[in-house]
């Protein structure tokens, strides 16, 4: 597609339409008929909600016809997902949803670059380890196409939980209200609190795991059994403060408002995020996440005029752009910066690719169990 000087929004609309017209790979819930879908049109701050689709083909036709800025479906499943009021939908259950955003992480509040996306990926990996160990649940994780990750959790005992119970789970994950004095009661007489084991349940186990990896286990003068030493012996007089530091390090920085909301929407993997024009991308191992051109379906070169100075690494490309200058950029970077308002297009060529890098996704089914659809693995 050849492009010239044109309004950024007009170019982006054409690119989105081209992308959806090639029927890209999408990861849709296997119980699609029980989900509510929602879309945000271009130039609108509101959403078109309370939509339902019987099958994937009808959803794809909608994407081609309407070409939305954002595309979502509900984490809940309903008897009548198209009903206009929540109380009329017939709530059947809801997945647990966790949202991790780079802008909630120290040093990344106003930054959009690879370094911050990798920090968010590490938080996502911490969360997945905690979910699997403490809840024995199945997880489905993906990059949201802008600044963070969504982790969806399927737990048979969690489906009918309300807002309060989900808030409690969020508090546990984020270590809200964790009291060191309750985890390790004040010692009596000669007894001192023992170092927790990695196998201990809950936060004692996470503290034990962190200590086992810490400097105290590698002290050159260390003698004897680490497990038989007490917390004061290993951490010193201020051992409670140090345990609190361990808790803060191991806690996962999630958006608590998202986790407690049973009517929350989540992005559809394979669609485009209108805030950055990157793909909502399935990531099975966030610890191995490396931002690259694979996060965009757009290839080629675009000539741009820089509207705001930008310096950093974005999708693997080192950039140093000064306001007012002109530059030629890889299309996958340029389209994202156009979406962010950092640059505007003045020429070039864009190739729209289907499924630019996803591993084989044909055998991925989510959720693992759905009403009326049997069991999936």
By annotation, the residues acting in catalysis are 99, 101, 255
* Strands in the chain per DSSP E: 2-3, 37-40, 48-51, 70-74, 76-78, 91-94, 96-101, 138-143, 148-154, 265-267, 272-273, 278-279, 281-282, 298-306, 310-314, 317-321, 326-330, 343-352
Q: Which residues contact 69 (CB under 8 A, 6 or more apart)?
A: 16, 39, 40, 41, 42, 274
| Cα–Cα dist 358/293, whole Å | 12
| Cα–Cα dist 115/121, whole Å | 10
| Cα–Cα dist 184/107, whole Å | 33
- Nearest in space to 139 (alpha carbons), one of 363, 362, 366, 375: 366
Instruction: Identify the three-state secondary structure at position 64.
Output: helix
- Nearest in space to 53 (alpha carbons), one of 69, 70, 39, 35: 35
DSSP class of residue 375? B
């Amino acid at each position: 597609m050849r492009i010239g000087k044109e309004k950024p929004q007009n170019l982006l609309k054409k690119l989105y339409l081209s992308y959806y017209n090639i029927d890209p790979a999408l990861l849709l819930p296997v119980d699609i008929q029980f989900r509510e879908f929602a879309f945000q049109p271009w130039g609108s701050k509101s959403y078109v909600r309370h939509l339902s689709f019987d099958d994937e083909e009808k959803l794809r036709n909608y994407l081609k016809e309407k070409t939305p800025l954002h595309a979502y479906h509900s984490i809940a499943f309903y008897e009548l997902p198209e009903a206009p009021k929540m109380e009329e939908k017939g709530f059947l259950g809801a997945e647990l949803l966790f949202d991790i955003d780079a802008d909630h992480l120290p040093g990344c509040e106003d930054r959009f670059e690879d370094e911050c996306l990798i920090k968010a990926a590490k938080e996502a990996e911490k969360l997945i380890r905690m979910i699997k160990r403490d809840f024995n649940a199945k997880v489905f994780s993906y990059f949201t196409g802008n600044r963070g990750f969504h982790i969806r959790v399927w737990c048979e005992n969690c489906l009918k939980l309300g807002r309060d119970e989900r808030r409690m789970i969020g508090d546990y994950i984020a270590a809200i209200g964790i009291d060191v004095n309750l985890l390790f009661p004040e010692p009596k007489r000669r007894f001192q609190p023992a170092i927790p084991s990695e196998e201990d349940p809950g936060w004692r186990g996470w503290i034990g795991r962190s200590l086992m990896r810490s400097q105290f286990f590698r002290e050159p003068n260390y003698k004897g059994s680490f497990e038989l030493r007490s917390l004061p012996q290993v951490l010193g007089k201020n051992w409670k403060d140090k345990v609190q530091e361990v808790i803060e390090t191991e806690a996962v920085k999630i958006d608590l408002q998202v986790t407690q909301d049973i009517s929350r929407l989540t992005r559809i993997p394979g669609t485009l995020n209108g805030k950055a024009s990157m793909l909502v991308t399935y990531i099975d191992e966030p610890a191995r996440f490396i931002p690259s051109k694979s996060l965009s379906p757009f290839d080629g070169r675009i000539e741009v005029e820089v509207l705001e100075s930008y310096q950093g690494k974005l999708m693997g490309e080192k950039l140093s752009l000064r306001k007012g200058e002109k530059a030629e950029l890889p299309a996958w970077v340029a389209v994202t910066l156009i979406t962010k308002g950092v640059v505007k297009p003045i020429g070039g060529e864009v190739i729209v690719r289907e499924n630019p890098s996803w591993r084989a996704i044909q055998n991925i089914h989510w959720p693992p169990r759905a009403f009326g659809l049997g069991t999936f693995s």
